[in-house]
Chains A and B, each alone.
Chain A
Amino acid sequence: MTRLIALSVGLGAILFFTLVANSIPQSEKHFDEGVTVGADITPAEMASLGEQIFQGQGGCSVCHRVGSLGARAPDLAGIGSRAADRIRETGYAGRASAAEGYLRESLEQPCAYVVAGYDCIMPVINAPPTNLDPAEMALVIAYLQSLGGTVTVKIPERLVSETQAAQAKPTTPQGIVDAMGCGVCHAIPTLDKAVGQVGPDLSMMEDRAIAALKSQDYTGSASTVTEYIRESLLVPNLHVASGCPSPAGGLGACIADVMPKDFGERLTALQLEILVQYLSTLKRP
């Protein structure tokens, strides 16, 4: 009898937990539902589909709210009109020249410009795990534009983003730096719009490379300046430099896993060599 009671206690507990779990709000979560975009889709329809992605597979609503302040990400109410103001802000270090470009940049390079009061924690939206394709990105941008603004974005005919389309395989240092977004994080005074304050200043890259090669904590396989620069581009975590701008002013330690690790795939061999050679010429006057 007592063992029967014990059995009932055990089964009763399992039943209780099951009932509790079945009593709370139930929803299945589908992650990659995809959206169907017709050829004659209207802006309003685009915004509606974009909202669906925003709430669903994009995962945006986990951090962002519309109409209330999120603890981790800005309120997106009115972002459609605010986007144009952002690029005119004093601290803006991105490369967008129009509101639509700003919204796209925020999805593709979220750390290009982080609104004051927040940290750079947003993932890249067109890369895994979120992995929105250009059409889905355009729909999300349409939704964001609809929040206080006018929907102007178009579904791309080719699967190339605005930031990459005009910069396909540039072969000049300025073009390569613009295409890869180096200036978002690094200051390179000899190049336009390379004013980033996240990573080290590259204006004396040769000197930095020599110092790193002599450093006791360097564990890479480079032995020359060009080898070091090439290694830093391809395997940025191998030797994380010191001398990054610190929020409190001055220079501080650099953080690993900030610099993208896929330049080896994004740069052609020619672009890589052009960039390496260029950076190796930057030295103390």
Chain B
Amino acid sequence: MQTATGWRAARPFRRHQLLLLGLASGWLLLLTAACAWPQETGIDVSAEYRSLGSYGARVPVWIVAQLHLYFAAFILGVPMFSVLIEFIGIGTKSERYDRLAKDFAKLLVTATALTALFGATFLILLTTLYPRFFGYLAGIFGPAFTFYGLLFFAESLTMYVYWYSWDRLKTGRGKLLHASLGVLLNLWGTIILLITDSWATFMMSPAGVDSAGGLFAAEGGFWAAMQPPLWWPLNFHRLLGNAALGGAIVGAYAAFRFLGSHSAEDKAHYDWMGYVGSFVAILALIPLPFLGYVLAREVYQFSQQMGITMMGGFLSWLWIIQAILIGTIFMAANFYLWVGMERIPGGERYRAYIGPLLAVLTFSFIVWATPRSIVLTPEEARVLGGGSHPILGFLGVMSGKVTVVNFMILATFVSWLLYRRANRRESVPWAGLAKALQWATIAGAAGVVGYIGIWGYTVPAEQRIAANPNQVLAVLVAMLAVLVIDLLLYRRARSLGPIRWGEIPNRAQYALILLAVSFTWLMGLMGYNRSAIRQNWHVWAVLQDTSAESFAPTLGQAANIISLTAVIFWALIIFVFWLAQLGEEQHPATQAAVPALRSTRAGGGQDPKPAPEPGTQ
């Protein structure tokens, strides 16, 4: 069958794009009309707050803003690694990397439209339901709003050119040009992130304004307002968070396609795609707790009151939910790697490590999820001798929690290391020494982490806080050192057989789904936290929220909204997955991949050269 190329290949896909665009425009018009329609006679045009019928203002804005953030994180995160994979394809001249990058990028087209849709809805709701607040923000950030609008055009147009020119710019200099477009896409996306982070962090930690809230030149004015104290900490956290969410969702997409595939070739491709997506998610996940810690420390630095409210006040139990989420993510990631080793010849050698790793992860999970304060009646508190359990209460403080999260990171790194070497046997004479050195390094890092963790209980808070970065440093240095040794150790390693892509058990795919859903829910929870620590301030200590909804809901109520947005998001993401499947035709590159897989399954013939793993070239 002749394969359509270039614009012809895109045509069926574009019809659905137009349909989506039409639906989106219709919805926007309807929504605008609904918001503008007078709810009652004698409407107060100077009202500071309005409501969307009986739904109030906060919940509709919350849902739409969160959905916009989900899709925005996705379209900002995916290009970060799809472009990288495209460059790997150029460097290795491997068609399947290019196909993989294109598969990732395929999801961007519809997702960008949905991002814009929710962004526009968010803007309409803000201007109509929170006119005073939005008017204030516009007074501060007017020029930035305009620039942002232009940037979004640039980003969207670049993305569409990037996608639709993929087959046309497939070889030679055209391919380099195409990859450069991907770099440009990332540049626009990063600038968009930085600008929106300015607004978000201004609301938390305003700068450049006087006590009345007006831009104050002596305090730095507009440019200081664009770079509040929490700006860079949030930038780093979100940049990595976007990559993690993007990786997790493409991993879920791969799992979705794997579970629906019938041919061995497709299963192999999507198994591999799922691994790459989860690899990106886990790679970004590992430093995320560190960046989150830095962000929290900067919150304290800016305002002790805000920091203490966040960690020790009415939001303290939110962190128990966060612990459960992150524990689930780490467990799912490790489970995926362990199950994945079953399809790697030689992986059975490392089965014995799974038990201890699971024990470390489980213990760490339990410690992390242990609360400090317990809700008790006065009589119960008297019997217990205080608001905390006399023994378990010690696990509820930061010294214990920071320690175990580092243990979880180390354990996950070890799981990945074992996965990486599963089908390799080292051939250097110094292998034994090298591996002993690796284990000693990991044990040393764990020892440093544990020692500082225990020592932290015996010293004042400021000393403990000052020492926490050393725990992080120990883990990062250890991971780097062990990785360098590993790269040298397995440079000319003998293969025990190629990875049997496509033969991974279905339960590993369910783990990818769990990983992606947990990431989504966690993002929703942290978004709620970021808003809630402002308490009854639109802009902390500058512009007060005087609406009837200026209270903090219960954690259960917040969770219900987060779950609703997560369900809506995933319903739409599944729609994006389905749309990506439409009009797909057999890609010529899979023909090249088939012979390697067939000869392995036939059990005869010469073993093919082992397929290089992503990130190991």
| B residues 505-555 touching A (CB-CB < 8 Å) | 506, 509-510, 513-514, 516-518, 521, 535-537, 540-542, 544, 550-555
Residue with the highest number of chain A CB atoms closer than 10 Å, among B325, B518, B542, B554:
B554
**Cβ–Cβ contact A24 & B320, under 8 A:** yes
Contacts of B308 in A (CB 8 A): 62-63, 72
Contacts of A68 in B (CB 8 A): 386
Residue of A nearest to B520 (CB): A14
Q: B95: shortest Cβ distance to chain A, in Å?
A: 28
Q: B392: shortest Cβ distance to chain A, in Å?
A: 16
- Number of residues on chain A facing chain B (CB within 8 A): 45
Given A10-B513, A62-B308 in contact, is the A265-B518 Cβ separation under 8 Å? Answer: no
Contacts of A72 in B (CB 8 A): 304, 308, 461
Cross-chain contact of A26 among B260, B513, B556 (Cβ < 8 A): B556
Residue of B nearest to A19 (CB): B559
Contacts of A25 in B (CB 8 A): 317, 375
A285 located at the interface, meaning its Cβ lies under 8 Å from any Cβ of chain B in the complex: no
**Cβ–Cβ contact A22 & B556, under 8 A:** yes
**Cβ–Cβ contact A62 & B563, under 8 A:** no
Q: Which of A123-131, A158-166, A267-275 contacts the other chain?
A: A123-131
**Bound Cα distance A127, B303 (Å):** 14
| A residues 19-33 touching B (CB-CB < 8 Å) | 20-22, 24-32
Residue of A nearest to B537 (CB): A129
Contacts of A26 in B (CB 8 A): 554-557
**Bound Cα distance A11, B521 (Å):** 11
B156 located at the interface, meaning its Cβ lies under 8 Å from any Cβ of chain A in the complex: no
**Cβ–Cβ contact B313 & A62, under 8 A:** yes
**Cβ–Cβ contact A27 & B321, under 8 A:** no
| A residues 244-285 touching B (CB-CB < 8 Å) | 261-262, 265
Q: B205: shortest Cβ distance to chain A, in Å?
A: 12
**Cβ–Cβ contact A27 & B566, under 8 A:** no
Given A59-B309, A123-B305 in contact, is the A30-B314 Cβ separation under 8 Å? Answer: no
Contacts of A3 in B (CB 8 A): 256, 259-260
**Cβ–Cβ contact B553 & A28, under 8 A:** yes
- Number of residues on chain B facing chain A (CB within 8 A): 58
Cross-chain contact of B556 among A15, A21, A237, A261 (Cβ < 8 A): A21
Contacts of B556 in A (CB 8 A): 21-22, 24, 26
Contacts of B18 in A (CB 8 A): none
Residue with the highest number of chain B CB atoms closer than 10 Å, among A2, A17, A27:
A17
Which residues of B are interface residues toward A (Cβ below 8 A)?
211, 218-219, 255-256, 259-260, 303-306, 308-309, 312-314, 317, 320-321, 324-325, 328, 375, 386, 461-462, 506, 509-510, 513-514, 516-518, 521, 535-537, 540-542, 544, 550-560, 562-563, 566-567, 570
A-B contact pairs, 16 of them (CB 8 A): A2-B260, A6-B509, A9-B514, A17-B559, A18-B562, A18-B563, A21-B559, A26-B555, A28-B554, A32-B536, A63-B308, A63-B312, A122-B304, A128-B211, A129-B540, A235-B219
Which residues of A are interface residues toward B (Cβ below 8 A)?
2-3, 5-6, 9-11, 13-15, 17-18, 20-22, 24-32, 59, 62-63, 68, 71-72, 119, 121-123, 127-130, 234-235, 237-238, 261-262, 265
Given contacts A11-B567, A14-B566, A129-B541, 9 further A-B contacts (CB under 8 A): A2-B259, A9-B514, A10-B517, A22-B555, A25-B375, A59-B305, A128-B541, A237-B219, A238-B218
